[in-house]
Structure 1
Amino acid sequence: MLARSAITQSARCATSQIRGYATLKEVELRLKSIKNIEKITKTMKIVASTRLSKAQKAKAAAKMIDQADATFYDVAKTAEVAEAKESPKHLSIAITSDKGLCGSIHSQLAKAVKRNLEANPTTDIVAIGDKIKMQLLRSHPENIKLAFNGIGKDAPTFYESSLITAKILEELKAQDYSKITIFFNDPVSSLSFEPSTKPIYNPETIQTSPGYNVFEIDPEGKLPTDLFEYSLTSQILSAMAQGYAAEISARRNAMDNASKNAGDMINRYSILYNRTRQAVITNELVDIITGASSLD
C-alpha cells in the first residue's frame, strides 16, 4: 500500500515536471522571438535615422518650390478667381507610399481624403502609393481613376513626378478639372505630422487671374497650359518630398517605440522565465527527495 502510494505520488510529480518543462520551453521560445523582434526594430530605426537627413534635404527643396509657386499665384490673384468659380468637377491626388511600419501616417491621410469625399461624392481620385490605394479601395473603389506604385523607396525626383503628371494628363485630361487638390502628409516637426492639401489651378483659371497681365505674358501663347503642367509636376514633387520626410520620421519614431515595448516585454518574460525555471528545479528536487524517501 505504501509502495503504491509512493508510485502514485511519483507519477503526479512526473506529470507536474513535464508540465513545468513545457511551460518553461514556451516562455523560452517567446523570449527568443521577442529578442529577435527587438533586433529588427532597432535595425529599422537605425536605417530610418540614416535616411532622415536626405529626407530633410528633400523637404527643404520642396519648401522652396512651394514658395516660388505661391509668390506667382499671390501676385496673379489666382485664388480669387478659383473661389468665385463653381467647381462641379473635382480631382483629388492622394500621395503616400508603398511601405508600412510607420504608425498611422497612411490611415490619417486616408481619413482626410474620405472626409473630402463625403462633401464631394463625385470627386475623382488619383492614388499615388499602394497604402492609400488599398485603404480607399475598401470604401470608395468607384472614385479611384488612376493609381501609381513603386513610391517611397527613395527621395522623390522631378523626373519621377513628371512621369506621374504626364500619365495624369494623358489618362484623365487633368486640365479640364475645375478644381484639383493634392493631399499629402506635412511633417510639422520630427515627432508629428498632419494631413495637408495643396490647390492646383487649371489653365483657364490662371489666364483669367486679375494680376496675370503684370507678368507681360503674350495672351495668345501657350504659357497658361505649360505653367499648369509645370505647377502640377512641381507640386506633386513637393508633396511627395514632404510626405517622404514625414514617413521616415514617423517610421523612426514607430520603431523606437516598438524597441522600447520589446525591451519591456523582454524584462517581464525574463522574470517569468527565471521564476518558471526555479519552479521546475524545485519540482525536480521534490521528486528526488520523494523517491529517496520511498526507497528508505
Structure 2
Amino acid sequence: MFASRAQPVASVLSAGIQTRNMGTLREIQLRLNSIKNIGKITKSMKMIASTKVNKAQRAMEQARIYGSASSSIYDNAKTSQLENEDNIYIVSSSDRGLCGGIHSSVAKATRKLITADGKTSGVVVLGDKAKNQMSRTNRADIQLSFNQIGKAIPTFAEACAAADTILKSDVKFDSATIVYNKFTSAIAYEAVPLRNFSIEALKASENFAAYELDDEVLENYNQFLFANNVYWGLVEGHASEMSAKRTAMENATKNAGDMVDRLTMTYNRTRQAAITSELVDIITGASAL
C-alpha cells in the first residue's frame, strides 16, 4: 500500500521538476545563442570601425593643416566679435549611432555656449543625432538641419554645399560658431567651438592693416574660410566618431563575452541540478519498490 501511494507522488514531482528545469534550460540556451550572435556582430563592427579610423585620421590631419592655416588670419589680425552682432551656432555631428555619447557632447557644449552668450540668432544642425539632442531644449532655435552625414568621410564639396545653403538661406547672421568634437586621442575627444567672424569684425581688427585686400577678395576669402571651417569640423568630428565607435564596439564585445561566460556557468549548474533531481527521483522510486 505504501508503494502504491508513493509512486504517483514521485512521478508527479519528477514530471514537475523536469518540466520546470527543461523550460529554464531552454530559455538560457536561447539567450546564450542570442548573446553569442550579438558578440559576433559587435566584433565585426569593431573591425570595420578600426579600418575607418585610419582613413578618417588621415583626412583629419589634412583638414587640420588647411583649417589652421586659413584661420590664422584671425589670430594674426587679433580679430574679435563686434558688439550687437548676430551669431549662429553650427552643431557638427552625424546620422549614425552606436558610438557612445559623442553626439550628446556637442549638444551639451552648444547649450552651454548659448547660455553663456545669453542670445543667439539660431542653431544649424549637421546630422540627425545632434538634432534630436538639441530639439529637447532648443527646438525653437533650430533654423536649418542637414542629414545624410556620416556614412563616409566628409568631403570639401559637401562642406561647400552646406555652407552655401546656410549663406543663401533666410537665416540672418554676422558671425558663426561651429561646435565640433576635436580628436584628442584614440580614446578621447572634446567638444570645442570654432569661430568664424564677420567681414566688419575682420576689418576692425587691430592688425588688419597689414593685409592689403580688396573688398571683393575679402568677401570671397571669408566665404571660403566659412566653408573650410565647416569642413574642418565635419572631418574632425568624423574621426572622433569612428574612434568612439571602435571603443564602444570593443566594450560591447567584451561585455557580451562576460555574459556568455556567466550564462554558460548558469546553464551547466542548472543542467547538473536537473540531472541530480532526476537521479534522486529514480533512486527514491527504486527504494520504494
Structure 1 length-normalised TM: 0.92
Which of 177, 183, 189 is residue 185 of structure 2 equivalent to? 189
Task: Show CA shifts across 1:140-193 (max 9, x none).
Answer: 1100000000111111111000000111011145xx523310000011111101
Alpha-carbon RMSD: 1.6
Please tell me whether residue 113 in structure 1 is matched to residue 114 in structure 2: no
Which of 228, 231, 253 is residue 234 of structure 1 equivalent to? 228
The match for 2:72 is 71
The match for 2:147 is 149
The 3-state SS of whatever aligns with 1:199 is strand
CA distance, structure 2, for counterparts of residue 186 and residue 89 of structure 1: 25
Q: Could you tell me the percent identity over the aligned residues?
A: 41
The match for 1:222 is 216
CA distance, structure 1, for counterparts of residue 139 and residue 272 of structure 2: 57
One-letter amino acid of the counterpart of residue 250, structure 2: D
Contact 2:45 2:249 in 1 (8 A): yes
The match for 1:265 is 259
How far apart are 1:203 and its partner, in Å? 1.8
Which of 248, 253, 262 is residue 254 of structure 1 equivalent to? 248
Task: Show CA shifts across 1:108-160 (max 9, x none).
Answer: 11111111232324441000000000111122110000000011111111100
The match for 2:83 is 86
One-letter amino acid of the counterpart of residue 180, structure 1: A
Contact 2:92 2:234 in 1 (8 A): yes
The match for 1:136 is 134
CA distance, structure 1, for counterparts of residue 206 and residue 33 of structure 2: 68
CA distance, structure 1, for counterparts of residue 125 and residue 72 of structure 2: 28
Taking the TM superposition and a 5 Å limit, the aligned residue runs for 1:87-106 are 87-106=84-103
Which of 159, 162, 165 is residue 163 of structure 2 equivalent to? 165
CA distance, structure 1, for counterparts of residue 180 and residue 234 of structure 2: 7
One-letter amino acid of the counterpart of residue 186, structure 1: K
CA distance, structure 2, for counterparts of residue 65 and residue 181 of structure 1: 18
One-letter amino acid of the counterpart of residue 177, structure 1: F
Task: Show CA shifts across 1:186-233 (max 9, x none).
Answer: 111111011011000112222333333323223xx3122212210110
**Structure 1 range deviating more: 22-31 or 64-73:** 64-73
How far apart are 1:73 and its partner, in Å? 2.0
Taking the TM superposition and a 5 Å limit, the aligned residue runs for 1:8-87 are 8-79=9-80, 82=81, 85-87=82-84
Unpaired segments ≥5 residues, structure 2: none
The 3-state SS of whatever aligns with 1:188 is strand
How far apart are 1:284 and its partner, in Å? 2.2
Alpha-carbon spacing, 1:97–1:207, altered in 2? closer, same or farther (3 Å): same
Task: Show CA shifts across 1:82-111 (max 9, x none).
Answer: 2xx214522000001000111111111111
Contact 1:10 1:290 in 2 (8 A): no
Structure 2 length-normalised TM: 0.94
Please tell me whether residue 205 in structure 1 is matched to residue 211 in structure 2: no
The 3-state SS of whatever aligns with 1:127 is strand
CA distance, structure 1, for counterparts of residue 84 and residue 265 of structure 2: 64
Alpha-carbon spacing, 1:116–1:123, altered in 2? closer, same or farther (3 Å): farther
**Structure 1 range deviating more: 206-215 or 185-194:** 206-215
Contact 1:180 1:199 in 2 (8 A): yes
How far apart are 1:39 and its partner, in Å? 0.4
CA distance, structure 2, for counterparts of residue 63 and residue 261 of structure 1: 35
Please tell me whether residue 178 in structure 1 is matched to residue 199 in structure 2: no
CA distance, structure 2, for counterparts of residue 184 and residue 67 of structure 1: 15
The 3-state SS of whatever aligns with 2:169 is helix
Contact 1:55 1:244 in 2 (8 A): yes
- Aligned length in residues: 287
